[in-house]
Structure formats: C-alpha cells, structure tokens
Structure 1
Amino acid sequence: GNYYLKRELPKGKRNKQLVNLNTAKKVGIVYQLDDDKTYRLINNLVIFLQDKNIKVKALGYVKDKYLTQKYLPKMTYDFFYSKNLNWYNKPCGIYVKEFLNENFDIFIDLSLEEIYPIKYISGRTNAKLKVGRFDENNKEIFDLMFGVDNKTDLEKFISEITHYLTLINTQQDVKRN
C-alpha cells in the first residue's frame, strides 16, 4: 500500500500556506466512523467550523456498512466502505474522487492510528495546510502534526487541532493588526 501511495503523491504541485480557522474558507476532514460517539464528535466539529462560515466536506471511512444506515449522507458528509477499496486498499468510488478533486484551505486527518485508505486520501488531497497525527512516515504528507499516544482519544485530538488552528498567526492576520 505505502509503495503505491509514494508513487502517487503529488510532486511539488501543492501551494503550501499557513492558514488558520479565521482565514480558512474551506476545510476537508477525513476520519474512520466506528461508532455513534465518533459521529457525534465529527458532527460537533462540522457545526463549529460552519459557525465560522467555513464550508466543510467530511469523508468517513466505514468498515461496517450497517453503521451508516442511521447516518444518511448529507451535503457535508460522504462515506466510503471496504468494498470501495481496490486490491491494494486504494480507496475508489465517486465520493472519494469528488473529495480528491476539492481544493481545501485546511485538510484534517482525524485518524488516531495508521489506516491506509485514510492515509492514501491524506496524501492525495490538495490543501494549503494539511493537519494530522504525528508519525515519522507522515512527514511527506502533513504540514502540521500532533502527537498521539494511547491516552489520546478523538475528542482530545479534535480539541488540540482546533485550539492550535485558532492560534496560528498567518500573514493575513499580521497585516490586519
């Protein structure tokens, strides 16, 4: 899987920029949907961002397709499933393709461990600022990484990310003051 990802990583095309939640207009989120609590936390994050007038697109990876029957895809949320993975776990399908065609100001990978289909999307997504979990193998993918240990849950991870994405000073912020 990682071999194919390295081959498909965009080479030098991305316009990297420091963006915060005060200047972002469009945010992409990728996550694994495991349970109701995860869905609630993602929903709260989406509402938090939308309250800041940020357009949000969230793409959830679901191993158990029955889990999403109560969460019908909405304008903001799409899902992809194990059946949407090819033989080397590359995510395929219309929702994945649409997500990868977006240009985000900020992209957030909310996986707490390595999940190859999510890592693939993180590597291929086009965003000015990519945020995710710290791992030596993620240095080529993310611009801003957060340490995660076995005590870190999704709620804490989201809280840290939103906290720091609010604090970051950008050139636009400096010019405003």
Structure 2
Amino acid sequence: MTTAFLRYRIKQLRKSRKPLPSKSYSDAQSVGIVFTVKGMERHNAVKQFISELKEDGKKVEVMTFLPESTENHEFLFDYFTKKDISITGRVKSQELKDFMDKPFDFLICVDPDPNEYLLFLLAGSPAACRVGRYTENQQPYFELMTAAEETPSAADFMRQLINLIKNLKNQ
C-alpha cells in the first residue's frame, strides 16, 4: 500500500471515530495491546506486561504488526502484515478486522514510535482509551499519553504505561 493512500485512510478513520466513555483501571475489564515485532527484548517485555495485566484480572488481547523479513518469535500473538491492508485501506485479514472492531477499555500501543500500520489500527479502533507515548504529531491517535524524552527500553516504557493507567481515576 502506498503511504499517501494509507495516510488518507487514517485521516478518514480519525474523523469518523466515536470514542466510548473511559473507565478507571480498576473498573476496566478488557485491554488490547498493539506493537511491532522487533527483537526478543520487546517480545519478552510484552509477555511480562500481559502477565501483569492478567494478574489484575484483565482480559488481554494482542495484535502485532510483522514487518517484512522479520521473525515472528514463538508465534504467541495474532499478527498482521502490510499485505493485510489493501491499497484503498480496506482490511483483508479477518483477525485484524475483528481486533479493530473490539471496544477495549484500554488499547495500549507499546511501540514508542508506532509505524503507519499501527496508527491505522489505532485510528480505526472504537477503544474507550488509547494509550501511548507522547509525540506532538501523534496526539490525535491517543486519549492518554506518557511523556518520555528519550526512547526508553521496552520494559521501562511498558512500566511507564502501566503506572499511567493504574493511576487513572474517573472524575
């Protein structure tokens, strides 16, 4: 898919998004996690992050973007590739479509710098609260962002994210 078409489709999805009311972490039941496959450090950090969420009683689902020529470690998580999104921005993968349609209480992007394919997923999600790293150009994709001046390690970044959502209270 060409970048121009994908950016146009992302813009359309952002405009049509109707967010759900958000919940506090203690009231949340479902958590979605998205990330790009990028080495064993991130893979292991995601597994630890999932364990912590499950210990708190959360139902966790994961979708990962698998770039070309990248190994899918352990095949633990559902994944999609750029071939799963058509040139017009239509989702071809039923697994990706089902994931994008789920109204998660929190949808957490554990990539400090998400690629356009993850931004596409985030823009099309009806999640109540999308969580990620603060960067000026990515504000439209997240309701809740953590500031990280330097790119943290995968484990440190996920620790920041979990602390952020655990301290979230309904007003």
SS of the residue 1:42 aligns to: helix
* Residue 58 (structure 2) aligns with: 54
- What TM-score, normalized by structure 2, do the two folds share? 0.85
TM-score, normalised on structure 1? 0.83
Q: Between the two structures, name the one with larger relative contact order (CA 8 Å, sep ≥ 6).
A: 2
Q: 8 Å contact 2:17–2:126 — kept in the other structure? A: no
Unaligned runs of 5+ in 2: 1-5
SS at structure 2 position matched to 1:121: helix
Structure 2: distance between partners of 1:90 and 1:113: 23
In 2, Cα distance between equivalents of 1:99 and 1:151: 27
Matches within 5 A, 1:63-78: 63-64=67-68, 67-68=71-72, 70-73=73-76, 77-78=77-78
Q: Are residue 35 (structure 1) and residue 39 (structure 2) matched?
A: yes
Residue 41 of structure 2 aligns to a residue whose secondary structure is helix
Match 2:14 to one of 4, 9, 28 = 9
How many Å separate the matches in 2 of 1:137 and 1:87?
A: 23
User: What corresponds to 1:130 in structure 2?
Assistant: 130
Task: Determine which structure has the larger strand proportion and give its number.
Answer: 1
Equivalenced residue count is 166
Identity across the alignment (%): 18
> What RMSD in Å do the two structures reach over aligned CA positions?
2.2
- State the Cα deviation string for residues 45-77 of structure 1 (Å, max 9, x = none): 111111111101110111146612x5224xxx3
Counterpart secondary structure, 2:112: coil
1:102-141, aligned counterparts within 5 Å? 102-141=102-141
